[in-house]
Structure 1
């Protein structure tokens, strides 16, 4: 093979620098990882010295020939090793040096095998076998004295495995590692250990249906759920008796060498299984004992069958039904169940969203039957904009199906509706009569394009038509999604879907979907009381919605500009208005400062709802990790945590899911040497696009080469034609962007590379457009998106079956992000993930050497979630919003007037209707602050409330409003750090 390019600037597989060069570096260890002079295998022998084995070394060198370079034939040498019990020994120097001389015709390059004997774990000997490039750094003929494509194989030595300390010493996990690579990976096969520069790990697609389980079809469960549900329960009991019995566990303990601690752990896990079984059994009992619940469950299945049309399924997965049954108690016994947070912990792509929806539709139907004719049943919060946008259509489709069922069954109450509560320019907070702020909509000059920017449904949830337009109804002051299909099943003009914050407060849609950040708004917006309790009244003018505390422009609390109508009393008891559920998706993301701040606002919403409605909501959540969930749930919600489903006795064995023979995802770990990660990513992205374009230009030849029918070419282009390059930092993404614009990533055919960006900096409207193009790609492959650069924004909630190729620029800092990000590919079809390790980083190097375990047991590598509720710094930031929320949600409605001004608050204090000490006690109770245990926090609160009262009671020209007296409330839950202005000096 010949090359016109310097190999040192292009090739890196099996590359070894001269030892002399590495030793001259100022940081030899780090340089040795980035461009090592040796690769090796570390292992534990079963016997004592001496040790005998056979080594096989393969390598190539590049020979300068004028302006070009010629790659030598492969040098392949095998020789015996007789290792003594002393620190370091050398072997094969003459054999390897002579072989290199013979292959190149010139002396000067050399290599040798070195073996080190050191004490290993528990004092047993550990052997390190290394092949070292001993060539000089400079040579008069060989201008490049590196060795390339170096590999080492060992056989003939009996070994015992290492135990991976990063995995817990649990009966569930295989902690054994046969050998470790040094500056490389190791493949062990049939007693031979071989180094590798790319470690491949395959992950099987979960099998969600065990043998002998009932089909659980929606239609069957609507008709008569008991036969299938009873069969499922019987199968679960039988499986538990077989797997978790003392006899079975004793046999496993003996076969796998469990310690007494491991056997005791297994006994406790068996008890957890019994508890889970009893919960599911209790759910089946509630169905048989409660006619309204049974009817709700059956009608929910009818709605799910309708909502699933065109999605390729018509039945439940067993775990989904198990979760719904296990949580039916929270519908009929809400007070008892509200003290527990139920967490879904299941494989990404396993159907968690549909599981939520099944339970929620059952709950909303039951709510209507018990007399909850209006209001919010569930508020679903996602940590990221992308999550909520992707899930929105699913929720809308399910609610539409449930609404059609409700109408057919003549169940009373208002129409089921969805609200999208996001803000941050993604949706309007309000539509003003006249624009006052920069982002305000100018109604008088708005056109179709203005309103179209806020379209959030890609298709009609009732009929599936994509012919949806946005209209602003000036009479009702409402922004509507309107389906243009004349044959749509929805009989009204506007779809029951709201994207303006004030409309959500006015109409209180059945399900609110949004981002976590919006919770902070309750400290500034009195109408957010509707997310924790009852509004004040119902405007008498049809279509105007609920009313709240009056303002100067809203004399009776109606949000429609100019409305002077008085309000009717609420149409149902006040206690029914509180949401039955708060759903938190991706619970593991609520950590550090975000988690600490959210804990305070969770406490606020709980406290307000308990005060206004008599009980707290049920919290449902999903999480990517079980590590430390009990502490996290206690900090966030002051509740006990409970996980569904319980794990089986091994990672490969469970009732709800098991491994199949179908490939889900192949991971390829790559450790570049001597070249920047940017260069490797550029080459990888380019070659992947070249492969795709070869398939497009010559499908017959490519399909013949890979052994696939040519009829599948278009499918392959659709499923693998778009690659994702995932960056862990904005610096990584900026480097990739520069490579694209500068032509470093340039397909060989010279045609355009269509590129899209999905990061936190991407405008919400652009995100929606990109997702639409990915889900519904252009007919011409040349017009499609070919490459996506993405940040952690994409690691959650992007459910697109076409994304099946990812290049990851270094390991994410957290294991949870690695799991979530790589789960974006291979959701339905086999995916491939190239993980380009930043091998100079200690963590990347450590994961690389045990990459197999990292992938297979990734959830156990997830770090405990750092979070605290009792932070003085966080309390300082949250307390203004907490107290102002109490004024807006409790005291304004009680006073029947606006309490915006300090003078109004002063009057309330003087009349005795606002007692500051009682306010302090209420906030302390919300947050669970005990003056005895949390003395400093209690003192901080006492000082803050004293200052707050002084600011109100004592007149001051700069303090005119309650906000002036309290301090600025948080705008967003992420608004933790103080903001400072930055000015550009152009002098």
Structure 2
């Protein structure tokens, strides 16, 4: 192949991916091999056809639908003819065979040999009854290449299930059982081609009609893929390959405005005006009544499709109006304008050296659309703004921009300290890379804050890491017991390093220290040139330190919200703490306990209490950020919906405000219903989808390739075998490039100057399993069944230790110098699919289709983030869903968002209510009643006395809880009764002096949840 010297790297990557795919498919089909040591039927998984089992042989379900998919005896094409019968066409059959030599053959160590190609053109003319063709012609052809005994035929069946004739054209392997010289009855490297038939396309039934998408499918493959190679010519393919392309983030006839951080920090108004005017022009061009009239006429829309388009247009123009409002606020509101400018300066600092200096248009668009909440927080709190964009498009950076704008606005308007945003992620283990992004952005903001004369007296911008015992300690105690952590516990302090590098200078030379005087677990940067000169980095990774210092932004797992019913110090995340400790670096204080008699969380503190530095109402967070909204479903979503209502209730009681909720999601399907259930708010999404699939004002596909998806339906062998062989082939290819770059580059058409970089870019493969069992099995199998020596496999799952995750990410980002020392395969579960961004992960093998399309979208987005990616989806073809998806895989990828199921969620579950009621009641005691009482209410006796003195009644508490959870409608009578009965029993237990309850969490049953995922294990609230 001709090689262009000076070839761009992206083109070299594209050609290398093509070469890799060709090699993997060859390994699955047997292309290029001439002899084998072992039977080909146990080796190849593509292009093969088993023999048709006769009725007299049928046993155990042979040739049923599932068996036909697992090891098919036929493959072909389903077509819809455009004319009435008779129909005529030419069917071309291509195939090979493998034959075994006798024991005294020329190569006894490799007795299996591959025949020449059989290629036969078979004329077909049929009426409504169908027929069989070419049996004698194909049998003679196989005999001619040395495969006597093999037989096949072309079968054409006519079906009219949809009141329109469909032709099913198949190649069927009719060979007999092995014997009499026939050693292997399989056909190999099979292909079928149909030409000369005038057809009309199918319409994809899995999706509804819509004005944005094309549902037309020219033909369906049967146990294969199918491609249109020329007008009226259809050919089967052993895999289904779908290419996606990178988006261009500007789709306007106007020049793209300068959205650089520096320009927006200096003078944002002209640039923002240009952006909004360009959007206005685009919307008028594509969404006006006249534009929709023209499209309806041209595309033949139905009335329903036009109504859908009109509804979408209304949402688009509402979005435009929000951007106009945001622009006006930046122009006219001094604090908002300055906050926006300082945010851009901060993001510019955090982005230095990372290869980008500018926003994408949709990111600035979202900031303008959402910024109104700063000026009108009460009204805007009624809406949840969801960022919806392709994974890898920059959603995280987008809401980081909003978060920093809110943080600066808080400081400029009198909030001197405390939490601006609480950001929660739905996975059990928070991504360290996501945490690093937050730290980097806040470090940029802190450097900017230090330069502002009027902000220097406010607290430094800081980050809190709130994940609990699974990642970092809940607290550090002088004398640890059981699972508690002490200053000298094993692994302390190094195992709790959260940052991958210093957010201020990017230096990786971080050290961990525990400061006994300040009772703080600290990250320190050892770079003498680091711009941070204040000792420990401003990040808090112990739960109690988060409560003591109330960092500007708290990131954590969704589960920790349950602690609101367990830990009184959680109050600082939704309202004011009690006081401040007079001792330096002890921070805020909360209700007194036996181990904190003055309310300070530092052990043995003797300090006195000081007044808070600002009014109570300023302590409530401005924002709650929810990442991966689509994962809040089923029981997790139901439980969270109750705790979201509880957080709103407590913040409103303590501060008179509610936080603005901002979310990101991988799907739009049913988002409005989900938001209504979760938050009891209206949902808004940004950006609105464009007038056509994949195209809007904010983006359109460009020519640069993003990912190649390859659907594989393994035949006759296990999925594990195919996974092993695929990874083996990928690793072998990279090692060939390492050993003989000149030959490989010449073969692939690549400039040899790129060889070393390609080895790094494609040298680490991902094998992804939806279950922990699949992941562990893949790791074990690969270690024992590959033909390439020295494959280093690591696992990334929810079970992987925290410090090991950090080490693996470090090795992936900065690989060892020698290839043999590097990680070659990552066996990963769903942990990988959220927030793991490594540019060196560009090939993936997926073990079966994930259970949800959202998981498929999120997971495959982990590869090919910077360079062209290659994803093999190994379908568990015996499963009906996998089989159906394989059939329309092209549409599944290109219109993936339409295949995402609506999120199953409800807040009206009596089982969920039974789990959440104890936490709701306990939280109201801890957060509201205890501070109001000016005394400790952690024991039943003290709470009982307070209830008597304050006149608390079961009826009043039940009514309050019913209102908190929004279960006060006429359809909620059973839930209301359940609340009344449980609260009545709770009060009875409270007033029972013979009760064994020692702490308020032990009153009633069950105890408050320790985690939002908790369905069995409960824990008491200790004194």
- TM-score range, shorter-chain basis? over 0.9
Distance 1:188 1:978, change over 3 A: farther
Please, which of 198, 203, 221 is the counterpart of residue 158 of structure 1? 198
TM-score (norm 1): 0.97
Please, which of 787, 799, 805 is the counterpart of residue 843 of structure 2? 805
Residue 932 of structure 1: CA displacement?
A: 3.0
Match of 1:983 in 2: none
Match of 1:536 in 2: 578
- Contact 1:920-1:942 at 8 Å conserved across structures: yes
Match of 2:272 in 1: 229
Provide the rounded CA distance (Å) in 2 between the counterparts of 1:298 and 1:105. Answer: 76
- Contact 2:49-2:71 at 8 Å conserved across structures: yes
SS at match of 1:131: strand
Superposition pairs of residues 45-60 of structure 1, within 5 angstroms: 45-60=81-96
Please, which of 1008, 1011, 1023 is the counterpart of residue 969 of structure 1? 1008
Superposition pairs of residues 233-244 of structure 1, within 5 angstroms: 233-244=276-287
Match of 1:139 in 2: 179
SS at match of 1:48: coil
Please, which of 801, 811, 816 is the counterpart of residue 773 of structure 1? 811
Once structures 1 and 2 are overlaid, which stretch shifts more, 16-25 or 551-560? 16-25
Match of 1:440 in 2: 484
SS at match of 2:607: coil
Residue 487 of structure 1: CA displacement?
A: 2.1
SS at match of 2:812: helix
Residue 21 of structure 1: CA displacement?
A: 6.1
Please, which of 238, 241, 245 is the counterpart of residue 200 of structure 1? 241
Please, which of 975, 978, 983 is the counterpart of residue 940 of structure 1? 978
Provide the rounded CA distance (Å) in 1 between the counterparts of 2:671 and 2:333. Answer: 33
Distance 1:341 1:21, change over 3 A: farther
Please, which of 843, 848, 858 is the counterpart of residue 896 of structure 2? 858
- Contact 1:386-1:798 at 8 Å conserved across structures: no
Provide the rounded CA distance (Å) in 2 between the counterparts of 1:802 and 1:47. Answer: 52
Residue 388 of structure 1: CA displacement?
A: 3.6
Superposition pairs of residues 686-697 of structure 1, within 5 angstroms: 686-697=728-739
Residue 674 of structure 1: CA displacement?
A: 0.5
Residue 25 of structure 1: CA displacement?
A: 4.2
Residues 667-686 of structure 1 deviation map (CA, whole Å, 9 limit, x = unaligned): 11111111111111111111
Match of 1:884 in 2: 922
Please, which of 689, 705, 719 is the counterpart of residue 677 of structure 1? 719
SS at match of 2:294: helix
Matched, 1:260 2:260: no
Aligned length: 970
Once structures 1 and 2 are overlaid, which stretch shifts more, 875-884 or 14-23? 14-23
Provide the rounded CA distance (Å) in 2 between the counterparts of 1:393 and 1:707. Answer: 39
Provide the rounded CA distance (Å) in 1 between the counterparts of 2:234 and 2:227. Answer: 6
Provide the rounded CA distance (Å) in 1 between the counterparts of 2:158 and 2:54. Answer: 25
Please, which of 547, 569, 573 is the counterpart of residue 527 of structure 1? 569
Match of 2:907 in 1: 869
Residue 56 of structure 1: CA displacement?
A: 0.2
Provide the rounded CA distance (Å) in 2 between the counterparts of 1:564 and 1:826. Answer: 56
Please, which of 296, 318, 331 is the counterpart of residue 275 of structure 1? 318
Provide the rounded CA distance (Å) in 2 between the counterparts of 1:103 and 1:484. Answer: 73
Match of 2:50 in 1: 17
Residues 664-704 of structure 1 deviation map (CA, whole Å, 9 limit, x = unaligned): 00011111111111111111111111111111112222222
Provide the rounded CA distance (Å) in 1 between the counterparts of 2:58 and 2:206. Answer: 33
Match of 1:489 in 2: 531
- Contact 2:49-2:173 at 8 Å conserved across structures: yes
Residue 424 of structure 1: CA displacement?
A: 3.1
Provide the rounded CA distance (Å) in 1 between the counterparts of 2:78 and 2:470. Answer: 55
Provide the rounded CA distance (Å) in 2 between the counterparts of 1:63 and 1:464. Answer: 61
Provide the rounded CA distance (Å) in 2 between the counterparts of 1:720 and 1:21. Answer: 47
TM-score (norm 2): 0.93
Please, which of 101, 121, 135 is the counterpart of residue 65 of structure 1? 101
- Contact 2:431-2:834 at 8 Å conserved across structures: no
Superposition pairs of residues 597-616 of structure 1, within 5 angstroms: 597-616=639-658
SS at match of 1:595: helix
Residues 786-821 of structure 1 deviation map (CA, whole Å, 9 limit, x = unaligned): 001111111111111110000111111111111111
Match of 2:16 in 1: none
- Contact 1:400-1:462 at 8 Å conserved across structures: yes
Superposition pairs of residues 727-738 of structure 1, within 5 angstroms: 727-738=769-780
Provide the rounded CA distance (Å) in 2 between the counterparts of 1:324 and 1:480. Answer: 33
Residue 120 of structure 1: CA displacement?
A: 4.1
Provide the rounded CA distance (Å) in 2 between the counterparts of 1:342 and 1:157. Answer: 51
Provide the rounded CA distance (Å) in 2 between the counterparts of 1:891 and 1:979. Answer: 23
Residues 37-95 of structure 1 deviation map (CA, whole Å, 9 limit, x = unaligned): 11011111111111111100011111121251111101000021111012x31111111
Please, which of 875, 878, 882 is the counterpart of residue 837 of structure 1? 875
Residue 785 of structure 1: CA displacement?
A: 0.5
Residue 731 of structure 1: CA displacement?
A: 2.9
SS at match of 2:605: coil
Match of 1:291 in 2: 334
- Contact 1:554-1:564 at 8 Å conserved across structures: no
- Contact 2:723-2:847 at 8 Å conserved across structures: yes
Please, which of 159, 168, 188 is the counterpart of residue 128 of structure 1? 168
* Structure 2 alignment gaps of length 5 or more: 1-33, 104-110
Distance 1:817 1:25, change over 3 A: farther
Match of 2:36 in 1: 3
Matched, 1:502 2:535: no
Matched, 1:902 2:940: yes
Provide the rounded CA distance (Å) in 2 between the counterparts of 1:977 and 1:900. Answer: 23
Please, which of 364, 367, 376 is the counterpart of residue 321 of structure 1? 364
Matched, 1:416 2:449: no
Residue 652 of structure 1: CA displacement?
A: 3.1
Residue 745 of structure 1: CA displacement?
A: 2.1
- Contact 2:1009-2:1018 at 8 Å conserved across structures: no
Residue 945 of structure 1: CA displacement?
A: 0.7
SS at match of 1:112: strand
Superposition pairs of residues 715-734 of structure 1, within 5 angstroms: 715-734=757-776
Residue 15 of structure 1: CA displacement?
A: 1.1
Please, which of 188, 208, 211 is the counterpart of residue 168 of structure 1? 208
- Contact 1:12-1:148 at 8 Å conserved across structures: no
- Contact 1:89-1:116 at 8 Å conserved across structures: yes
Residue 905 of structure 1: CA displacement?
A: 1.2
- Contact 2:429-2:471 at 8 Å conserved across structures: no
Residues 602-642 of structure 1 deviation map (CA, whole Å, 9 limit, x = unaligned): 11111100111112110000111111111110111000000
Provide the rounded CA distance (Å) in 2 between the counterparts of 1:138 and 1:460. Answer: 67
SS at match of 1:812: coil
Residue 866 of structure 1: CA displacement?
A: 0.6
SS at match of 1:973: coil
- Contact 2:319-2:369 at 8 Å conserved across structures: yes
Match of 1:984 in 2: none
Once structures 1 and 2 are overlaid, which stretch shifts more, 164-173 or 849-858? 164-173
Match of 1:429 in 2: 474
Provide the rounded CA distance (Å) in 1 between the counterparts of 2:579 and 2:1016. Answer: 38
Residue 105 of structure 1: CA displacement?
A: 5.9
- Contact 1:481-1:497 at 8 Å conserved across structures: yes
Residue 912 of structure 1: CA displacement?
A: 2.1
Distance 1:825 1:945, change over 3 A: same
Match of 1:985 in 2: none
Match of 1:26 in 2: 60
